[in-house]
Amino acid sequence: MPTCSSVMRNGVRCTSLVPADDPSASMCTHHQRMARVMALAPKKPDATPSTSPPPGPANPLFPSSSVVHVPLSSVGALRGAPPLPIHVPSESFSDYLKVSFPGEVKSASLSCSFEVSSREGVPGTLIVTNYRLRFEPSSSQRSTNLPPSLQEAITPGLPTASVSKLTYPLSSSSSSNSMPAQVVVHFRNCRTWVLRGNVTELMTTLNRLVFVESPLHLFAFAQGNTVTPDHVQGHAIYDLYADFAAMGVSLSSSPFRVTDANRSYAICPTYPPMFVVPAAMSDVQVAAVAGFRSKGRMPLCCWVHSSNSASLWRCAQPKRGIFHAQNADDDHMLWLIAQTNKINGQNVWIVDCRPELNARANNLTGGGTESGSIRHATVTFMNIANIHAMRESLEAVRQLALMPSMEADLHWYSRVEDTKWLYHVRLVLRASIQTAHAIHQSATSVVVHCSDGWDRTGQVCALSQLLLDPKYRTLIGFMQLIEKEWIKVGHKFGDRVGAGKCENDEQAPIFVQFLDCVWQLHRQFPTYFEFTGLALLAIGFHATSGRFGTFVGNCDRDRVVALQVAGRTPSLWTFMLDNAVQFRNPFYRPYVQESHDGDTGALVPWPVATVLRRVVLWDEMYLALPSCGNITKPKDMAAGSFHQAKTAAEDLEMAMAAAQHQLSSFC
């Protein structure tokens, strides 16, 4: 028997059964009755649109145009268009609306009003395509002064895949007959749109078009004919042998080797077919250790220090259970990991990212942590919270951004701290810096894990390598690092990011938090990074956009076998490299080794407090802020290449690029 096609207030589809005696019905009895009531209810007129800009600062309810303007306006189809001005001239408005991407088709158009404040709404049409949501104001509104939130809703809009949930809060009226008057569209990048109109039509249409049942229905797979060989190469940007060769490690004649024991994904379904293990281990032992680790995620080598031979490894928790089981092959592997270190080969440091209480409690579900009786291993707990705490914390940031209270503004920093988001960011940074310090300064080999080894473990391992190796602080090196420590090794992007999925308990901002940590380091040490904060925003945006196949699926097997991403979808890395000039930091100073005394170009700030005390909220990612760049173009910059910067940092980068161009003209 079919279920109801209606959507409830929280954005979840109703699961009640359709009456069996009515073959033409598509809704349950309750929603049929509600539809009849709504049809009889008087329609509320749209609020009179504002003809002048609202006083004071922009309402934090709405997204800043800075985030979306970066990745979408720099796409090939938009590169020839000028940046969206504050005043949208009516004669050129249609030009913006004609811009589309290859494979993009219109799915629906809905009359509604875009709410710009609690009392003001701009009437127009919501355009829904197979890639994005975009709002088109009525003709009378096209030349008025538009707030930033409405500007990005017009051009280029926001991807449908980034919608996390749809809700329709009831009117604040005390009347018992009050009906929903608006639909709230929540996006994964902390943006929120409030639409007024026919709530039933909006909810039904949006719920049908923005949420997909399979990754194959994402926009990335609608561009098959435009996928070039360059995009195929972009999906293969990481090479295991080249990566270790750059570290000075020969995988054919060193304490390390490549195993292909997982070539059919039989040992560990979420690991790549090949990875690095101690050379002294046989494939039989590899399989035995995998059987003792959660989800088969046994220790694999991430990085080796070129000077002191200390190494970084990652895995999942051991399956010790309530009987505190031990495995001889697992213990032996930890010993072999220690032995690969030529300087400190008697001990390995195990970084357990979890709070100790949580780790111990996992014994009850068959997990746990390493035994304290292993003489060659020392365990330290880093107290990083789980995915649920991270999700709740970022939601608190979203709610704080929606708060129009002046009281919140006057106590902003304390309110931000109350969300615990910066506290969690500091914990991840602390664990990463301590890991990098142990490898670089103490020549200690480190094994990192959490429960399943695909969330907190990925954060700490990737950040540690970013600190240790200047290669990963270049634009292409950072892409390879993400491919290596997040995509290849099985961070569950399909579940954690959930592009095209309605919000659920498996989703969590783990990858965004990693980008946040990178941004904190970039902000404090700007000359160490070839890429800019703009690049981080673009990566964060497209992790949820569904436009590229880079972040589709949960693991390598999903992408290679089930989805065949490489030949069917464009690569974000190819797109960014094609537009690299927009993502390169003009203040970057490339590392050049000037001596052979152990200098490797590591960036390991110590003590840790020097970094933690300067952690701040990443405004461009989470908040709605107006552009603050100078409206006057830098001297000697071509007028056609200038646009008002969204942030002070972008303004400085633009000025620096103009100065470099001026200097080059004298050479």
Between these two residues, 639 and 648, which has the higher pLDDT value? 648
Annotation says 268 is catalytic: no
Mean pLDDT of 507-530: 98
Q: Please check the confidence at residue 402 and state whether its pLDDT lies above 90.
A: no
Query: 280 and 151, same structural domain?
Result: no
- Could you tell me which of 109, 116, 148 has the C-alpha nearest to residue 49? 116
Binding residues for substrate: 386-387, 450-456
Any idea which of 72-81, 310-319, 569-578 has the lowest mean pLDDT?
Answer: 72-81
Whether residue 205 sits in one domain with residue 302: no
Choosing from 622, 643, 659, the residue where a domain stops is 622
The answer to whether residue 197 is domain-embedded is yes
Number of domains in the chain: 2
DSSP state of 269: T
Does 642 map to a domain? no
Integer Cα distance of 361 and 368 in angstroms: 7
pLDDT of residue 418: 96
pLDDT for res 93: 32
pLDDT for 145 equals: 60
Instruction: Using CB atoms within 10 Å of the CB of residue 111, give its burial: 0 to 12 exposed, 13 to 18 middle, 19+ buried.
Output: middle
pLDDT at 273 over 70: yes
Average pLDDT of every residue of the chain: 85
- Same domain, yes or no: 242 and 201: no
Same domain assignment for residues 241 and 194: no
Of 604, 622, 640, the last residue of a domain is: 622
Q: Tell me the average pLDDT across 490-498.
A: 96
Which range scores top for mean pLDDT: 67-76, 179-188, 427-436? 427-436
- Which of 374-388, 574-588, 634-648 is least confident? 634-648
Reading the block at residue 99, the tokens are 């811009």
Q: What b/e sequence results for 306-334 when a residue is b if at least 16 CB atoms lie within 10 Å of its CB, and e otherwise?
A: eebbbbbbbbbbbbbeeeeeebebbbbbb
- Same domain for 93 and 203, yes or no, is yes
pLDDT bin (cut points 50, 70, 90) of residue 628 is confident
Residue 470 lies in a domain: yes
The answer to whether position 659 is within a domain reads no
- % of the chain at pLDDT higher than 90: 65
Range of the domain at 558: 232-622
Residues 303 and 201 in one domain: no
pLDDT of residue 436: 98
pLDDT at res. 401: 86
Q: Based on the domain organization, do 203 and 237 belong to the same domain? A: no
Give yes or no: residues 130 and 245 share one domain: no
Q: Average of pLDDT values for 620-646?
A: 74
- Judge if 240 and 374 occupy the same domain: yes
SS3 state at 96: helix
Question: Active-site residue among 450, 461, 502, 555?
Answer: 450
In the numeric block, the tokens 């949208």 are attached to 88
pTM: 0.83
Give residue 48's pLDDT band: very low, low, confident or very high (50, 70, 90).
Answer: very low
Position 30 in a domain: no
**β-strands 182-187, 192-197: how paired?**
antiparallel
Range with the poorest average pLDDT among 81-85, 334-338, 379-383, 384-388 = 81-85
pLDDT at 632: 82
- 209-231: b or e for each residue (b if 16 or more CB lie within 10 Å)? bbbbeebeebbbbbbeeebeeeb
Residues forming a β-bridge with 257: 277
Task: Write down the pLDDT at residue 75.
Answer: 32
Q: What is the pLDDT of residues 437-454, one digit of tens each?
A: 999 999 999 999 999 999
Mean pLDDT, rounded, for 413-433: 97
Res. 166 pLDDT band, cuts 50 70 90 = very high
Asked if pLDDT for residue 177 goes beyond 70, the answer is: no
Structure tokens at 225: 């004919």
Q: What CATH number corresponds to the domain at position 69? A: 2.30.29.30
Domain co-membership, 137 together with 269: no
Taking residues 357-375, what's their average pLDDT?
92
Rounded Cα gap, residues 520 and 512, in angstroms: 12
Q: Are residues 137 and 106 in the same domain?
A: yes
Secondary structure of residue 416 in the 3-state scheme: helix
- pLDDT for 185: 94
Strands (E) across 443-498 are located at: 445-449
* Residue 560 domain-assigned (yes or no): yes
Q: Would you say residue 358 has pLDDT above 60?
A: yes
Residue 654 confidence (pLDDT): 80
* Binding-site residues from annotation: 386-387, 450-456
- Last residue within a domain, chosen from 211, 240, 265: 211
Would residue 451 count as lying in a domain? yes
Sorted by sequence, the CB contacts under 8 Å of residue 230 that are 6+ apart come out as: 571, 574, 578
pLDDT above 70: percentage of residues in the chain = 82
Asked if 379 contacts 352 with a C-beta cutoff of 8 angstroms, the reply is yes
pLDDT tens per residue across span 528-569: 999 999 999 999 999 999 999 999 999 999 999 999 999 999
Q: What is the pLDDT of residues 564-592, one digit of tens each?
A: 999 999 999 999 999 999 999 999 999 98
DSSP three-state, residue 573:
helix
Residue 666, in any domain of the structure = no
Residue 88 has pLDDT above 90, yes or no: no
Decide if pLDDT at 57 tops 50.
no
- Over residues 55-72, the mean pLDDT reads 31
Q: Give the model's confidence band at 369: pLDDT under 50 very low, under 70 low, under 90 confident, else very high.
A: very high
The CA distance from 393 to 449, in Å, is: 22
Residue 79 sits at the vertex; the CA angle it makes with 74 and 80, to the nearest 5 degrees, is 165
Q: Stretch 77-95: mean pLDDT, rounded?
A: 31
**Cα dist from 88 to 84, 96, 138, 413, 633, whole Å:** 7, 10, 12, 35, 20
| Residues 595, 525 within the same domain | yes
The rounded distance, in Å, linking the Cα atoms of 488 and 445 is 22
Residues paired with 275 in a beta bridge: 259
Backbone angles phi, psi at 647, to 5 degrees: -130, 165
